Chains A and B, each alone.
Chain A
Amino acid sequence: MRTTRYIAAATLHLATLCFIAMFGICIVNIAMRAIWDTSLGWSEEVSRYLIPWVTFLGAALLAGSGLHMTIVDWKDASGWRRTLLRAVSDVVTFVTLGFIAYIGWRYAMQMSGRSLITLPDVSMFVIYVSLPVGCALYMLFIVLSRFGLFPNELAQMYVEQNDPEDLS
């Protein structure tokens, strides 16, 4: 349980740091343009390529907590129906994401020879590997949640709402 907590927490921290970097780069770029009339040439490319990391890591965490948007919620079903729906859902998810992780990894390897336009030292592998990593974590977190090993604090954090004091 402790290991799974570390993995989930590390995933959340990594995604949060990517988001902070994305936000920070944008703000610094605007400030530099306003104050010194100059801008970071790489800011747009780097910040937009951080979105896949934020998305796929965040999506994996949501999968573990069962918080992805659905049209029908199998949690509402009971007995054998619930087991069947969950099994069908899990099989299709694993086939879909397993295949995407596989071709995503192959594509990331293909792209390792290319680099960002504005930062030639950064390989495109770093960008494209977010897809197989995200898919693998997604599947891992689903397995953990099925065995009751996924930390539920993440779900609480997501749904936590402000309840400001009454004004009336």
Chain B
Amino acid sequence: MILLIASIVFLLVGMPVAIALGGGSLAEIWFGTATVHSALIPQRLIQGLASFPLLAVPFFILAAEVMNASNVTNKMLRPAKAIFGPLPGGMAQVNIGASMIFSGVTGSAVADAASIGRIEIRAMQQAGYTPQFSAAVTAASATIGPIIPPSIPFVIYGSVADVSIGKLLLAGTLPGVLMSVMMMVAVAILATRRAFPRMAPSSWSEIGVAVADSILPLMTPAILIVGIVSGYFTPTEASAVASIYAIILGLLVYRTINIGQLYAIFGRVVLQSAAVLFILAFASLLGLVFTRLGLPTYLEALIDTLGLGPIGFLILVNVLLLVVGCFLESLAALTILAPILAPIALGMGIDPIHFGVVFVFNLMIGLILPPSGILLMVVKDIARVSTTSLMRELMPFIIALLVTLVILTFVPSISTILPEVLMP
């Protein structure tokens, strides 16, 4: 109880999430009932970080940063225009298609919104769409980034919930495509009602030229998947290979970055990674305190008493995560709740890969929900629109994502089929 109250108070006075979790944990150890020897605290903080799979977090950030700095994002928009432009809703469909393609390069929704999203919003506004709608499509489509591999949230989920990261990365592919299709359907419906323009169809040769021009960056997800599936790389090594591939493209093939810029990118990656990993270190301490308090056992017994069954439990988790996602930053929610909920799900016979996908998908929806949805903040600053007007335009996409969530919850095979077939 002390832990909960202290952490919430610390978060509400504006303390960094990591320190709030650490301070709350220490308050419980000092004044509460959790018995933790002081030597365990530094040990836990270091060992929580010193995990080989976690190296994938900075490496995926590096790959995305290098691709952005190399202007590869521009190349991603061309095939998206050629393929998705003729659909009803023209540039809005291109926006979603480009995010789907770009998600194969970056594993972070914020990176997607802040890099390719910037170009997408500008292109949509020039095509006659309102800034509010352009920002709404961009925020919604950015949620695809962490679902299709590579994915930083899946790496963190796999690490804190002890689930195969390689399988989780593969599992996100079909749900990522499904959510893209659902959002494209939403755009098509809106296009019919609002008479949005569509672009002239491209010839096969134009599509071929656009794809050929961007084929090298487009190969990144293929390298990842083939490497992991063939067993040649671990997921961590795959993230390092994706980074070195991005560096080779930027430094030697396109020659859009030099060594000095590369060193600056490394520095930026250090700061961005530290922001994520610092929270993970303290979440690891929090996990230790939770265990000492017997919280997972208590929750398991409570859920047993409710007699929910796997489907009832999944629905409860969906509701819980959507509510939590409105108030808590997705990474904080992931690191706090995954170690508690994942063992319960496993105990109820829910496939850990399926549960991981549903868990992360919920948190991605949270990224576009007020008041703390980080994607809302990013796109509203880029497009210079108010949160209220942005929310109004986002509603159809939130509905599309909720429908996708329901499908993913009730049809586990969408998440599990690829890992089962490719990594038996």
B: contact size bracket: 35 or more
Question: Contact at A93–B15, with CB atoms within 8 Å?
Answer: yes
**What residues on A are CB-neighbors of B12 within 8 Å?**
71-72
Contact for B23 among A48, A56, A92, A103, CB less than 8 A: A92
Question: Contact at B74–A167, with CB atoms within 8 Å?
Answer: yes
Known contacts A30-B233, A127-B50, A15 near B270 by CB under 8 Å = yes
What is the chain A residue whose CB lies nearest that of B54?
A51
310-332 of chain B: CB within 8 A of chain A: 327-329, 331-332
Question: Contact at B268–A157, with CB atoms within 8 Å?
Answer: yes
Question: Contact at B15–A70, with CB atoms within 8 Å?
Answer: yes
Question: Contact at B273–A74, with CB atoms within 8 Å?
Answer: no
Count, A-B residue pairs, CB within 8 A: 224
Question: Contact at A157–B22, with CB atoms within 8 Å?
Answer: no
Question: Contact at B23–A96, with CB atoms within 8 Å?
Answer: yes
Question: Contact at A72–B13, with CB atoms within 8 Å?
Answer: yes
With A and B bound together, what is the CA distance between A20 and B55 in angstroms?
A: 12
With A and B bound together, what is the CA distance between A135 and B263 in angstroms?
A: 25
Question: Contact at A85–B14, with CB atoms within 8 Å?
Answer: yes
What is the chain B residue whose CB lies nearest that of A77?
B14
Question: Contact at B243–A23, with CB atoms within 8 Å?
Answer: yes
**What residues on A are CB-neighbors of B22 within 8 Å?**
96-97, 100
What per-residue 1/0 map shows which CB atoms of B326-360 lie under 8 Å from chain A? 01110110000000000000000000000000000
**What residues on B are CB-neighbors of A136 within 8 Å?**
none
State the majority secondary structure of interface residues on A.
helix
Name which of B160-168, B275-283, B294-302, B396-404 contacts chain A: B275-283
With A and B bound together, what is the CA distance between A127 and B268 in angstroms?
A: 23
Question: Contact at B46–A52, with CB atoms within 8 Å?
Answer: yes
Contact for A168 among B18, B127, B278, B281, CB less than 8 A: B127
**What residues on B are CB-neighbors of A162 within 8 Å?**
68-69, 71, 73, 115
Closest 8 interchain pairs by CB?
Answer: A58-B274, A68-B16, A74-B14, A168-B123, A59-B278, A55-B277, A107-B42, A26-B240
Q: Return 29 A-B CB contacts under 8 Å, by A number.
A: A12-B270, A19-B273, A22-B58, A30-B241, A47-B55, A48-B51, A51-B55, A54-B277, A55-B49, A57-B274, A58-B271, A58-B275, A59-B274, A68-B278, A70-B14, A71-B12, A71-B332, A71-B372, A74-B14, A92-B19, A99-B26, A100-B45, A131-B45, A158-B272, A165-B71, A166-B123, A166-B126, A168-B91, A168-B126
Q: Which residues in B have some Cβ–Cβ distance to A below 8 Å? A: 10-20, 22-23, 26, 38-39, 41-43, 45-46, 49-52, 54-55, 58-59, 62, 68-69, 71, 73-74, 77-78, 91, 114-115, 118-119, 122-123, 126-127, 233, 236-237, 240-241, 243-244, 263-264, 266-275, 277-279, 281, 327-329, 331-332, 372
